[in-house]
Amino acid sequence: MSATAQTTAAPGLTAARPSLVAGARRGLPLVRAVVLGLLGLLAVAGAWEGYKALAPEDGVVVGDNRVLPRTTDLAMPHVWDMLQRLGEPVSSLRGAAPLWQVVADAVLVSLKVAAAGWVAGTAIGLLLALLMARLRLAEWGLLPWIVLSQTVPLIAFAPMVRSWGSRIEIGGWEWPAWMSVALIASYLAFFPVAVGALRGLQSTDRVHTELMHSYDAGWWATMCRVRLPAAVPHLLPALRLGAAGAVVGTVVAEVSIVYPDGIGRMLVTFAGQASGDPEKAWAPIFGAIVLGLVAGGFIALLGLLLRTYRRGEAP
Amino acid sequence: MTTDRSQPTAPVPDPEDHVETHRPDHDRTAAQPEDAFGAPAAVRATGVSKTFGSRRSQVTALSEVDLTVAAGEFVALIGPSGCGKSTLMRLVADLEAPSSGSLEVFGKPAARARADQDYGIAFQQAGLLPWRTVAANIALPLELHRAPRAERRQRVAELVELVGLGDFAKSRPDQLSGGMQQRVAIARSLAERPRLLLMDEPFGALDEMTRERMQAELARISLETGAAVVFVTHSIPEAVFLADRVVVMSARPGRITDEIVTGIGRDVVRDEHLREDPAFFSKVTEVREALHAGPVSASGAHER
């Protein structure tokens, strides 16, 4: 509780004032965040062009090591050239779609796969956290394995997942390649959710659990009414990490499984064409950035929906 | 300074004999006789002990405690930190189990009384759920025990009025002052019309002025509801102001050393006049002497 609420004698004011103040504070940062974000973008573009204009053509070489990159148009195309390239057709074939559209399609494909992986990973992570919160034994038995699971290099087992998946066939239904990608994405996403949710579920105030005990409330009622809502402030950062993991997992898995429709594969293909078309190679990189921003934005939205459960959290 | 420790007609135990004074039934039944139908006492603890810790490093929190609280009686537990007053209350609430001895709440084992929701409880921290509104916090126990929606709404409206928070039903706890939060917690503890209220220093974290106001309100509420109250505190004036009987405890091991019937009837209005009443002062002094287990110097007795 705030000190102002304590000292205010008139009762009507105490309730009204904090919400007013909060509203005024909330409105301003939105504008500020947008302006700062745009300024940041401009700063990056400015630094890029500034370095390109000022640094030597061949970069900076110390001994045999190049410590700063070349500034040729091949290595560092102009910002405006990269933007212009987005509007041009993807290839010289007749009727080819503009580059931005091809990239956007690939981003959309990857986004769907990453979202599927995130949902699956979050569900698995939450279930594991619930299980570990319920049974001490499960925590002792599972948590080390969960931590260990993240030390397995993704590149190593992605092809294995692919080959297992290709052997799955139920009736006429075949395991599609995108599900292998989503599976790997979920593998990265479940970990922070499991650990964060467990932490959150264990952070319930003792006074609340004792109160529920005094009401003779069961484990499940306590979980739904107190422990899950109280875990939300811990859960949101975990979900954010999970979303980042799902995006990274999707991009990496697309590359190592050779799944052609997503942004990951496009990054590799277009990079291969960079010697002839340097600006084109940057388009899927922008696409990947957008993919990450969309994922982050989704979690921010989720945080907004769950804001009732985040009271008392520092703004 | 008056020394009539047991104003009513009960056999007066020798004031020097502290071990004997906590024999439950003599003092108390005289002050608050059980009703004609022989309703069981709200709390009856016999030879209750509680030890914490492993076998190697054991701490005795409570040793051989006998205490009876009659239905409708207001009993304050007072004593220094570590005297086990909170532990005793927690045993009654079945938040802990006694190591030995027997403990009955309305004639049933404490666990059964908890399952039957025979008591309401309030802690030093208000312990409100921050994501729930005031009304939803008060409704929590009703919701858990599946009270019908209409009944729930009506009861919450009553309680919000009872604790004087009518305008704040839709506020969230973080919009309330500490005193208001504690009022919500008290309303919540009353939600299921318990016949026993357990309160563990509920005003301990409040400033003195808020505290006095809350004491007056609690006195009014306990009179209106007619519930028995076990009130843990370490404020002497608070104990005397509120209680019918002040149970004095001492530490290491925690035990009851004295009991003082305040003699301030239920019908006496708890307000500023009472706080300035010489009879109130003399009881405060009496409790203080019992706490310090010896007479307090004359100057010290008049500090408050």
Task: Give the distance from residue B119's alpha carbon to the nearest chain A alpha carbon, in angstroms.
Answer: 9
Percent helix, strand, coil in chain A, to 5, is 75, 5, 20
B273 pLDDT more than 90: no
Cα first-last separation, chain A: 14
Question: To the nearest whole angstrom, how far is the Cα of A301 from the nearest Cα of chain B?
Answer: 18
What is the residue-wise DSSP string for B250-295?
ETTTTEEEEEEE----TTS--SHHHHT-HHHHHHHHHHHHHHHTSP
Give B170 to chain A, closest Cα distance, Å: 9
Please provide the size of chain B in residues: 304
A246 CB neighbour count, 10 Å cutoff:
30
Measured CA to CA, the distance from residue A90 to residue A24 in angstroms comes to: 47
In this complex, do B144 and A217 lie within 8 Å of one another by their Cβ atoms? yes
Q: pTM value?
A: 0.77
Counted residue by residue, chain A has a size of: 315
A232 → chain B, closest CA residue: B131
- For residue B196, give the 3-state DSSP assignment: strand
pLDDT, one tens digit per residue, over A136-162 is: 888 888 888 888 888 888 777 888 888
In terms of DSSP bridges, do strands B245-250 and B74-78 run parallel, antiparallel, or are they unpaired?
parallel
d(CA B70, CA B228): 7
What is the DSSP code string of A144-193?
HHHHHHTTS-HHHHHHHHHHHHHH-EETTEE--HHHHHHHHHHHHHHHHH
Q: Which phi and psi (to 5°) does residue A249 adopt?
A: -60, -40
Say yes or no to pLDDT of B2 above 70. no
CA of A8: which chain B residue's CA is closest? B177
In this complex, the residue of A1, A213, A309 whose CB is nearest that of residue B174 is A1
State whether residue B231 is helix, strand or coil: strand
Instruction: Compare CB distances from B127 to A8, A205, A311 and report the shortest one's residue.
Output: A205
State whether residue B73 is helix, strand or coil.
coil
- Tokens representing B109 are 């084992």
Q: Report whether the peptide linkage leading into residue B24 is cis, meaning its omega lies within 30 degrees of zero.
A: no
**CATH numbers and ranges of domains, chain B:** 20-118+194-301 (3.40.50.300)
B94 has a pLDDT exceeding 70: yes
Q: Name the percent of chain A lying above pLDDT 70.
A: 90
Instruction: Look at strands B100-105 and B196-200 and give their pairing.
Output: unpaired
CATH of domain A79-310: 1.10.3720.10
Does B34 score more than 60 pLDDT? no
pLDDT at A91: 81
Distance between A279 CA and the closest CA of chain B, angstroms: 51
Q: What is the mean pLDDT of residues A109-118?
A: 95
Q: What is the pLDDT of residue A293?
A: 92
Q: Tell whether A209 lies on the interface with B, counting CB pairs under 8 A.
A: no
Cite the DSSP H helix spans in A56-98: 79-87
Q: A212 to chain B: which residues are within 8 Å by CB?
A: 144
pLDDT(B9) > 60: no
A213 and chain B in contact, CB less than 8 A = yes
Confidence at residue B91, expressed as pLDDT on a 0 to 100 scale: 92
- Count of beta carbons in the 10 Å neighbourhood of residue B189: 24
Predicted pLDDT at A2: 42
List chain A domain ranges.
3-68, 79-310
**B117 with A216: CB under 8 angstroms?**
yes
pLDDT for residue B27 is more than 90:
no
Residues of chain B with a CB closer than 8 angstroms to some CB in chain A: 93-95, 114-115, 117, 119, 121, 123, 125, 127, 129-131, 140-141, 143-145, 167-168, 171-178, 180-181
pLDDT band at B60 (very low <50, low <70, confident <90, very high): confident
* pLDDT-above-70 percentage for chain B: 84
Over the stretch A245-291, which tens digit does the pLDDT of each residue have? 999 999 999 988 888 888 999 999 998 888 888 888 899 999 999 99
DSSP B14: P
Task: Tell me the count of A-B CB pairs closer than 8 A.
Answer: 75
Residues of A in contact with B127 (CB under 8 A): 205, 207-208, 211
Q: Rounded to whole angstroms, how far apart are CA atoms B191 and B203?
A: 19
Nearest CB among A11, A216, A309 relative to B115 is that of A216
Neighbouring CB atoms inside 10 A of B72's CB total 20
Q: Which residue of B has its CA nearest to A208?
A: B127
10 Å Cβ neighbour count for B284?
23
Identify the pLDDT of residue A87. 87
Half-sphere exposure of B288 (CA within 13 A, CB side): 21
Q: In this complex, which of A12, A14, A207 lies closest to B127 when CB atoms are compared?
A: A207
Query: Burial, A83: exposed, middle or buried (Cβ in 10 Å; 0-12, 13-18, 19+)?
Result: middle
Residue B251's contacts (CB-CB under 8 Å, 6 or more residues apart) are B79, B80, B81, B82, B83, B84
Per the CB < 8 A criterion, the answer to whether A206 and A176 are in contact is no
Residue A307 DSSP class: G
Alpha-carbon distance values, A127 to A185, A245, A303, B32, B236 (Å): 17, 18, 20, 54, 51
Round the average pLDDT of chain A to a whole number and report it: 85
| pLDDT, position B53 | 82
Look up residue A203 and give its DSSP letter: T
Q: Which residues have a Cβ under 8 Å from the Cβ of A247 and sit 6 or more positions away?
A: A110, A114, A185, A291, A292, A295
Listed in sequence order, the residues at least 6 apart from B33 whose beta carbon sits closer than 8 Å to its beta carbon are B70
Three-state SS for B17?
Answer: coil
Residue for token digits 């002040």? B246
The answer to whether residue B14 scores a pLDDT higher than 60 is no
CB–CB of B167 and A12 under 8 A? Answer: yes
Q: Alpha-carbon torsion B150, B154, B155, B157, what sign?
A: positive
Residue of B nearest to A210 (CA): B95
The arithmetic mean of pLDDT across residues A186-203, rounded, is: 93
Give yes or no for a contact between B43 and B68, defined as CB atoms under 8 angstroms apart.
yes
- Quote the pLDDT of residue B36: 44
Residue B92, judged by CB atoms within 10 A of its CB (0-12, 13-18, 19+), counts as buried
Using an 8 Å Cβ cutoff, are A243 and A295 in contact?
Answer: yes
ipTM field: 0.77
Query: Over the stretch B118-177, which tens digit does the pLDDT of each residue have?
Result: 899 999 888 999 999 999 999 999 999 888 999 999 999 989 988 888 899 999 999 998
Number of helices and strands (H, E) in chain A? 12, 4
Closest Cβ–Cβ partner in B95, B131, B181 for A213: B95
pLDDT the model gives residue A211: 92
Whether A11 contacts chain B with CB within 8 A? yes
In the sheet where B228-233 sits, what is the strand order? B119-122, B196-200, B228-233, B74-78, B245-250, B255-261
Question: How many angstroms separate the Cα of B262 from the Cα of each of A301, B65, B135, B236, B250?
Answer: 59, 21, 36, 12, 19
Q: Compute φ and ψ for A60, nearest 5 degrees.
A: -110, 120
* Nearest alpha-carbon partner for B265 in B3, B4, B8, B5: B8
* pLDDT recorded at residue A26: 54
Per-residue pLDDT at A312 exceeds 90: no
Across the interface, of B94, B167, B178, the residue whose CB is closest to A1 is B178
Is A229's Cβ below 8 Å from some Cβ in B? yes
How much is the pLDDT for B58? 82
Residue B287 · residue B234 · CB < 8 Å: no
| Residue-level pLDDT at A42 | 93
Contact B127 A211 (CB under 8 A): yes
Closest Cβ opposite residue A14 in set B123, B140, B175: B175
